[in-house]
Structure 1
Amino acid sequence: MVEFRPADAGDAEQVAGLHADSWRRHYRGAFADAFLDGELVAERVGVWSKRLGDPEGTATIVAEIDGEFVGFVHVMFDLDPVWGSLVDNLHVDHRQQRGGIGRQLLARAARAVVEQARGDAMYLWVLEQNVAAQQFYIAVGAKHVETAPVAPPGGDPARLNGEPNGFRMAWPDAASFGSA
């Protein structure tokens, strides 16, 4: 059975490890290999230690099965005046994908937006190459509303076409999340 709880500063290493693993699996070719194969975990630990140490204006929810960390979602409230709150990260352990954990984490993020943000809209960015994630977001009611270049950390300077494209996926009303 999956259990969900708010993340705290002590979760930074596990969050960072899952985040790095997900990037290595899904963003090769968009992010520089040197970045993905280098000190990515340490860099992510620094990011997540800061985020979880000072969570004002955000919510981070972790998922666990039998005490084992299997996923998390991080939402930043009211980041954009048009699109609302940013689901900045959603990652599920690759061994647990397609089991409903991602949907449940997003539902909890949507609930946090409704309860804590000024507006009910939420959105996220997904890289164009991550087709499986795009299909998942559409299945849970998101609409692809914009395409724009994304400057990834460790962007690959050898890319002939410059920055990878990101798709903005949006839910105008987080209260109706998953009803599509």
Structure 2
Amino acid sequence: MRPVVTVRPARPDDADAMASVHVESWQQTYRGLMRDEVLDDPDLLPARRRFWRAVLTEERYGSFRAAVAVDDDTVVGIALAGPATDPDVTWDAQLYVLYLLEAFHGSGAGHGLMNAVLPGGDSAALWVADPNPRAQAFYAKQGFEPDGVVKVEDGVSEVRLVRTEARVDPGN
């Protein structure tokens, strides 16, 4: 049986739990793509805590939208979208974060998180690790397509995906 989760806007008191999900999902998803010393760095969790506290409390992130997926009062997924920063922007927003603990893949929480931070199917872009077939398939269902732009950041190859129309799959 699939877990049942709810999605809601993130609150400042979610920051530490969001950091934990961020780090754990990276470790689950990127092992073999990202260097182990990055994933196992003891400073990774404190750095993610500082990041999420800033996102949820500082005015400079006021135009960003953050959401959490919660299962029985436990944060199991996170998402963050905001203004696009790529120099060739032609879309409304950028999805910066969408991570879900592995046990909740296929639960519908990813779709809920995306809708919470990109309401109404805004045109948007995101960067996704390559290869990452599960995430790439999920984003394709949400109307995202590669636009041909790639980059390598911290040794990880990434592909930019863009959604130009409000086409969204109602499921996961």
Which TM-score bucket, shorter chain as reference? 0.7 to 0.9
Amino acid corresponding to residue 169 of structure 1 in structure 2 = L
Q: Could you state the TM-score of these two structures normalised by the residue count of structure 1?
A: 0.81
**Over 4 Å off, 4+ runs:** none
**Does the aligned pair in 2 maintain the 1:107–1:178 contact within 8 Å?**
no
What does 1:5-20 align with in structure 2 at a 5 Å threshold?
5-20=8-23
What is the match of residue 178 of structure 1?
A: 169
SS at match of 1:10: helix
Would you say 1:28 and 2:31 are equivalent positions? yes
Deviations, residues 44-94 of structure 1 (Å, cap 9, x unaligned):
111111111123110001111221212121001343432331110001121
Task: State the percentage of identical aligned residues.
Answer: 27
What is the match of residue 52 of structure 2?
A: 48
**Does the aligned pair in 2 maintain the 1:71–1:92 contact within 8 Å?**
yes
RMSD: 2.1
SS at match of 2:48: helix
Corresponding residue to 1:63 among 69, 84, 91: 69
**Does the aligned pair in 2 maintain the 1:149–1:165 contact within 8 Å?**
yes
CA distance in 2, matches of 1:86, 1:141: 14
SS at match of 2:135: helix
What is the match of residue 158 of structure 1?
A: none
Structure 2 segments unaligned to the other structure (5+ residues)? none
SS at match of 2:162: strand
**Does the aligned pair in 2 maintain the 1:171–1:177 contact within 8 Å?**
no
CA distance in 2, matches of 1:34, 1:50: 25
**Does the aligned pair in 1 maintain the 2:5–2:107 contact within 8 Å?**
no
Q: Could you state the TM-score of these two structures normalised by the residue count of structure 2?
A: 0.84
What is the match of residue 79 of structure 1?
A: 85
User: Relative to structure 2, which stretch is displaced further, 15-24 or 27-36?
Assistant: 27-36
What is the match of residue 135 of structure 1?
A: 137
Deviations, residues 103-152 of structure 1 (Å, cap 9, x unaligned):
121122221x76xxxxx31111101021111111112221111331231x
Amino acid corresponding to residue 102 of structure 2 in structure 1 = H
**Does the aligned pair in 1 maintain the 2:141–2:168 contact within 8 Å?**
no
SS at match of 2:118: helix
SS at match of 2:85: strand
Amino acid corresponding to residue 112 of structure 2 in structure 1 = Q
CA distance in 2, matches of 1:136, 1:5: 20
Amino acid corresponding to residue 146 of structure 2 in structure 1 = H
